[in-house]
Amino acid sequence: MKRLQADVVVIGGGSTGAGVVRDAAMRGFKAILVDRADLGQGTTGRFHGLLHSGGRYVVSDPGSATECAEENAIITRIQPDAVEKIGGLFVATPGDDPDYADRFLAGAQATRVPAQEISVQEALRREPRLNPGIFRAIEVQDASVDGWQLVWGAARSAIEHGGQVLTYHRVTGIEHDGDQVRAVFCRDEKGGEDVQIDCQFVLNCAGPWAGQITRMAGLPEVPVIPGRGIMIAMNHRLVNTVINRLIYPADGDILVPVHTVSVIGTTDVKETDPDELPIPREEVQQMLDAGEQLIPGFRRARAVHAWSGARPLIKDDRVAASDTRHMSRGMAVIDHLQTDGVKGLLTIGGGKLTTYRLMAEHIVDTMCEQMGQMRPCTTAEEEIPPEGTKNYVITHRLEDREEDRLEDQIICECELMSRGMFTRALAEQPDGTLDDLRRQLRLGMGPCQGGFCAMRAAGIAHQSGAVDIERATGLLRLFLKNRWIGLWPILYGDQVRQTALDDWIFQGTLDVEHLPHATEEVVR
Amino acid sequence: MNIMNALKRDTAPDAGERLGNQLARATLDHCVKCTICETSCPVSAVTPLFSGPKFVGPQGERFRDGESVDHSVDYCSSCGTCTLVCPQGVNVAELNSLARAKMKQEHGVPVRDQLISRTTLMGTAMTPVAPVANAVLGFKPARVVMEKVVGVHRDAPMPTARTQTLQGWLKKRTPPTTPRTRGPIVFFHGCAGGYFEVETSKKSIEVLEHLGYEVLVPKQGCCGLAQQSNGLFESAKKSVRTLVDQLRGAGKDLTIISSSGSCTGMLKHEAHEILGVEDEELKDVAAHVREFSEFLLDLYDEGEFPVDELRPLKMTVPYHAPCQLKSQGMGTPAADLLRLIPGLTVVDSNATCCGIAGTYGLKKEKYEIAQAVGKPLFDMVKATNKELAVCDTETCRWQIQKSTGVPTVHPAELLHRAFGLS
């Protein structure tokens, strides 16, 4: 068994965990992050791409609103490469509560969320596809954010500050001798060995999986409930500004243009197992109806992919256990010394991606308190990418390809990913799956959903020597299988033609089901 | 005329808005990446400088919610082949045209492009001094200077100035004596047909009159196609609107015939689909305009075309259908029509494009590309008949003639001969 030493082990490689390992490392702790899979593969990778202005919560959850507004400004500044400053609009559509706009404006003022009413004509001029029946429009500072860039940025920063990030390390046990945490046991899934990390502190940032983690420490499950929401990516930017319904938070109240797509979301349904998140057909229809309410003709636009994510909601006694929509979006740190008598174990729940840095600050502050050594948090000051990095804009890749179009091949045509981008990422992560690389490169995330690029990527991976022929086949099949999860629920219109063509290519031309492959199917 | 005033920046202020919200953008949803457009694109086949219609069209468009960053879109020649071949209904060429208009709106239009797209201006300037103009355009040192100063390639085909415009001829000629048995029609000659290709216009009119039509030729300006393909959307809109009024002024609900293949397409669909002109007047003209051969072939289909009057022409000619004619979705009526002439063998070029694409092949940085695009056609023409080639559009004829040395005429010229009119 491999043995490592750390001051603190952070469990969970989502935005919270990445923020926590960065924060702890920046405060001088020896910190190690472990995740059973790749970074940002859970909730962080399964959201709508919104960096909240706070507007959504000015009426329903004023505390969250202020936090969002403050953190939005910080994240936009310290992680410019992950954030596109597109701005947002709250619009009242026909049939919406006519009094809500005034409550919204009052709430925004009270919570210090920048918001300004604009004329309906101005809103329609900016976004001509909007429902012409809108009767109020309020401008806010929403942005869109790439969750994977965010999480990798934080992880790289942590590593620079001496932290360690161990992906594909599944926690198998947490040892404590009665009242003090001693070690975390992991299984290195890729390396095939067991790892013991001796530590004094464990920060449970496993989000909706947090209950499974406390159980591994032999403690009762923490009351974190997976609140499932589905999202659908439409093929291109139907709008160039975040469009929110000007109503009390509800299902299908937002359309976010992020990268090349626009994402409609979302629903909120209580689940028991965060690994089993369905994308029910009726919810797909519900989202398309919601889209139609914002953008007439939405149903005729092309959907390319759907997914389901689980919010880690802290159970709140004031609302019914099944009503996850109205559980607090606020964050909560649970100290297991108080709840279970175990020192050195904290769980964080609730919160949202926009406030990931603040959540990290809170949990590391609590840890410092318990350790009795206050060290100040500096994560809001230090910019993560090199100084002078500008905020992401949608045109970046087109501009990059304009520059290198005569030197480099395009591998993923939809997302304009070049061969060079792919081979560089593969060299950094030679044992990564195509999905691991996808999350960093957007490989296969456009309209053809891997139909034209997946086999190119598998071929290049093999050619580069990173994988043998059997693994290349396995990686290709795994990638296609995972794409399919998000494809079948939205198979209508243009995407059916694409899927049929892709199927002919893979089944007809490549006979992908019968290629030589390893006896055990590649799963990671 | 204050030329500098006329040359002021006049690209579409709303090109970006249109691009984001009109149908052309919505059609990118239909792209399944099949690559058929890329394999048919005559430009990307000969140069890596153009990334191809799928790349700059439905793919690049998804990244264009912001400033224009892909200047290479200007290597698209606007031939429209991509839209024509797309089996899924993506308006590829339209997306590219709009992206280019936005690029020019942000970065400016070279004076050269503004000059060469003003065909009427060139015509008015050159006709009174035709011999001098022709001599200058044929004089190599002058062309070298023109290339350096203006950016028009020294070897690019130039129109030949005529001493008499079509309107001049109409005023001075003896009125036709053929009985007007079929009623009035309007003739749209286009600017080239008014100033440079005067013979084509005359012969088209005489053929129509021979068939018994009263041919009305109202005073008319440019359709704006060259301005449109150079990203000068506002000028183009003004031009086409003026033209629409002029053509409608000749009489209500009259059929409008044109022997200018490309300009017909502008009126039929491009002014609406690319410039976004929504006027009812344009729709009215679009519904009434017929390309010369299209109109005559319709007559033939109705049994109204006097096939028995056609005298034999014993020869074999290469025929090239211009891109903008193919984009009208009517097949190649000229080839079918000419095949009615006894003894005449018409060989289809089966070539995609001659390379000129209006003004594209004149530009010094694109001349070589245009020549490479047209090479298969030039070889075919020379191998088929060194004396005569046939093509429906002016600039394509100039390109073929200049690049092959083979005199190239409009189909009307052969019909004129077959009817014994010349």
* pLDDT one-digit tens code per residue, A435-470: 999 999 999 999 999 999 999 999 999 999 999 999
Percent of chain A with pLDDT over 90: 91
**pLDDT at position A4, please?**
98
Mean pLDDT, range B333-341, rounded to an integer: 98
- Within 8 A of B51 by CB-CB distance, chain A residues are 401, 405
Say if A127 falls within a structural domain: yes
Say whether both A424 and A306 belong to one domain.
Answer: no
Q: Say whether B32 and A240 touch across the interface (CB within 8 A).
A: no
pLDDT at B2: 42
CATH ID of B3-107, from 1.10.3720.10, 3.30.2020.10, 3.30.1360.120, 1.10.1060.10: 1.10.1060.10
Does a structural domain hold residue A335?
no
Inter-chain touch B21–A394, beta carbons under 8 Å? no
Nearest to A485 by CA among A349, A342, A307, A360: A307
A54, A67 Cβ separation under 8 angstroms: yes
A252 against B2, higher pLDDT: A252
Q: Residue A407 gets which letter from DSSP?
A: T
CA of A410: which chain B residue's CA is closest? B55
B48 touches chain A (CB under 8 A): yes
B54, B66, B71 member nearest A395 (Cβ): B66
Nearest CA in chain A to B89: A494
Q: Dump the DSSP string for A345-371.
A: EEEEEE--GGGHHHHHHHHHHHHHHHH
Is the confidence at residue B16, as pLDDT, over 70?
A: no
- Burial class of A353 by CB neighbour count within 10 A (0 to 12, 13 to 18, 19+): buried
B71 touches chain A (CB under 8 A): yes
The reported pLDDT for the residue numbered A82 is 98
For residue range A333-367, what is the model confidence (pLDDT) as tens digits? 999 999 999 999 999 998 899 999 999 999 999 99
Identify whether A506 is part of a domain.
Answer: yes
B3-107 shares its CATH topology with B298-418? no
Q: Which two tokens stand for residue A446?
A: 């456009």
Nearest chain B Cα distance for residue A298, angstroms: 11
Q: Is the backbone peptide bond immediately before A172 cis, with ω within 30 degrees of 0?
A: no
Averaged pLDDT for residues B402-412:
98
- Confidence (pLDDT) at B117: 86
Distance in angstroms (rounded) separating the CA atoms of residues A486 and B80:
35
Q: Which residues pair with A180 in a beta bridge?
A: A343
pLDDT at B122: 79
Residue A228 in this model has a pLDDT that exceeds 60: yes
Unique residue bearing structure tokens 């965010």: A150
Tokens of B284: 């009215």
- Selected from 3.30.1130, 2.30.29, 3.90.226, 3.40.50, the CATH number assigned to the domain covering B298-418 reads 3.40.50
Interface of A with B in 484-513 (CB under 8 A): 493-494, 497-498, 501
Interchain proximity A393–B62, CB inside 8 Å: no
DSSP code per residue over B334-367: HHHHHTTSTTEEEEE---S--S-TTTGGGBTTTH
The predicted pLDDT at position A329 comes to 57
d(CA B237, CA B276): 9
CA distance A230 to A307: 6
Same domain assignment for residues A116 and A239: yes
Q: List the single residue in B17, B25, B29 with the smallest CB-CB distance to A494.
A: B29
**Cβ(B323)–Cβ(B332) under 8 Å?**
no
Same domain for A241 and A138: yes
Q: Which residue has the higher pLDDT, B129 or A403?
A: A403
Rounded Cα gap, residues A99 and B145, in angstroms? 71
Of the candidates B277, B327, B358, the one whose C-alpha atom is nearest the C-alpha of residue B76 is B358
- The domains of chain B are located at 3-107, 298-418
**Range of lowest pLDDT (A143-157, A441-455, A461-475, B4-18):** B4-18
**Cβ contacts (< 8 Å) between B54 and chain A: which residues?**
413
For A62, the token pair is 């004023």
Pairing type for strands A254-258 and A331-335 reads unpaired
Query: pLDDT class for A429, splitting at 50, 70, 90?
Result: very high
Residue type, A501: L
| Alpha-carbon span A453 to A433, nearest angstrom | 14
Domain-ending residue, one of A295, A312, A329: A312
Q: Kindly determine whether residue A395 and residue B63, on different chains, have CB atoms separated by under 8 Å.
A: yes
> Is residue A176 in some structural domain?
no
* 3-state per-residue secondary structure call for A452-506: CCHHHHHHHHHHCCCCCHHHHHHHHHHHHHHHHHHHHHHCCCHHHHHHHHHHHHH
* Stretch among A220-234, A318-332, B39-53, B308-322 having the lowest mean pLDDT: A318-332
Q: How many domains does chain A have?
A: 2
Place of tokens 């709303």: B14
What is residue B274's DSSP assignment? T
Q: Which of A312, A337, A358 corresponds to the end of one domain? A: A312
CA distance A410 to A426: 16
Inform me whether the C-beta atom of residue A413 falls under 8 Å from chain B C-beta atoms: yes
Give dist(CA A172, CA A9) in Å, integer: 13
Do A164 and A155 form a contact (C-beta atoms < 8 A)?
A: no
Contacts of A57 (CB under 8 A, 6+ apart): A64, A65, A68, A111, A249, A329
Same domain, A417 and A509: yes
Are B33 and A448 within 8 A, CB to CB? yes
Q: Does any domain span residue A464? A: yes
Distance CA A175, CA A355 (A): 30
pLDDT band (50, 70, 90) for residue B8: very low
pTM as predicted: 0.93
Indicate the residue type of B76.
C
* CA atoms of A103 and B14, how far apart (whole Å): 36
* CA–CA distance, B420 with B178 (Å, rounded to integer): 14
Please tell me the predicted confidence (pLDDT) of residue A321.
55
In eight-state DSSP terms, residue B330 is S
Residues in chain B with CB shorter than 8 Å from the CB of A493 are: 29
Interface test with B, best of A402, A412, A414 (most B CBs within 10 A): A402
Summarize pLDDT for B234-264 with one digit per residue, the tens: 899 999 999 999 999 999 999 999 999 999 9
Convert the pLDDT of each residue in A85-121 to its tens digit: 999 999 999 999 999 999 999 999 999 999 999 999 9
Q: How high is the pLDDT of residue B19?
A: 44
Residue of chain A whose alpha carbon sits nearest to that of B54? A413
Identify whether A180 is part of a domain.
no
Give exposure, B56-75, as e/b (b: 16+ Cβ within 10 Å).
bbbbbbbbbbbebbbebbbb
pLDDT at A233 over 80: yes
Q: Do B29 and A402 touch (CB under 8 A)?
A: no
Residue where a domain terminates, one of A271, A290, A312: A312
Judged by CB atoms closer than 8 Å, whether chains meet at B33 and A394 is answered as no
Cβ separation B31–A402 shorter than 8 A = no
List strands edge to edge, sheet with A345-350: A164-166, A31-34, A8-11, A201-204, A345-350, A331-335
Which helix (H) or strand (E) is A118 found in, with range?
strand A115-118
Cβ contacts (< 8 Å) between B17 and chain A: which residues? 128
**Residue of chain B minimizing CA distance to A405:** B51
Of B20, B30, B60, the CB nearest to A398: B60
Lowest mean pLDDT among A435-449, B42-56, B86-100: B86-100
Q: Check CB contact under 8 Å for A448 and B51.
A: no
The CATH number of whichever domain residue A137 belongs to comes to: 3.30.9.10
Instruction: Go through chain B and tell me how many residues it has.
Output: 422
Q: Average pLDDT of A420-447?
A: 96
- Please tell me which residue of chain A has the smallest CA distance to B47: A406
- Return the residue in B22, B28, B29 with the most chain A beta carbons within 10 A, the one to mutate for interface testing: B29
Interchain pair B28, A236: CB under 8 A: yes
Question: What pairs with residue A309 in β-bridges?
Answer: A229
Buried b (16+ CB within 10 A) or exposed e, B378-401: bebbbebbeebbbbbbbbbbbbbb
Question: Residue for token digits 């924060």?
Answer: A23
Query: B273-305 burial string, b = 16+ CB within 10 Å, else e?
Result: bbbbbeeeebeebbebbbbbbbbbbeebeeeeb
A436: containing domain? 396-514
Is the predicted pLDDT of residue B7 greater than 50, yes or no? no
Contact B36, B87 (CB under 8 A): yes
Residue pair B379/B272 in contact (Cβ under 8 Å)? The answer is no
Residues in B closer than 8 angstroms to A496, CB to CB, are none
Contact B187, B208 (CB under 8 A): yes
